[in-house]
Amino acid sequence: MKINVTEEAASWYKEELNLTKESSLRFFVRYGGVGGRISGFSLGVKEESPIHAHASTTVDDIQFFVEETDAWYFEDSDLSVSFDTKHGEPKIEYSEA
């Protein structure tokens, strides 16, 4: 699994969450929500340090990661986070690994 985050999306997270240099953001699986990869689940994000990162990337001094405990949700897919200028928010997409 790979995580790809654009500079624009990283900047949005920095501003919205008041992140400082060397912060870490975890993408985690949550029950409910819409637009998830698996029906009944969606992707959440929170500032947290990794314990057992399954995948990670660093963009604009921010580490984005997924923990081993959430790896099942991605099942051989990559996570891409870009910035949707029309809606003014990050856009989450999944693609085959």
Mean pLDDT over residues 82-95, rounded?
Answer: 94
Give the pLDDT score at 33.
Answer: 65
Query: Is the pLDDT assigned to residue 94 strictly greater than 80?
Result: yes
Secondary structure (H, E, C), 9-69: HHHHHHHHCCCCCCCEEEEEEEECCCCCCCCCEEEEEEECCCCCEEEEEEECCEEEEEEHH
Give the pLDDT score at 37.
Answer: 73
pTM (2 d.p.): 0.91
CATH of 3-96, one of 2.40.40.20, 3.20.19.10, 2.60.300.12, 3.30.70.1150: 2.60.300.12
* Residue extents of the structural domains in the chain: 3-96
Mean pLDDT over residues 62-81, rounded?
Answer: 94
What pLDDT digit, counting tens, does each position of 7-66 carry? 999 999 999 999 988 899 999 998 776 667 777 778 999 999 999 999 999 999 999 999
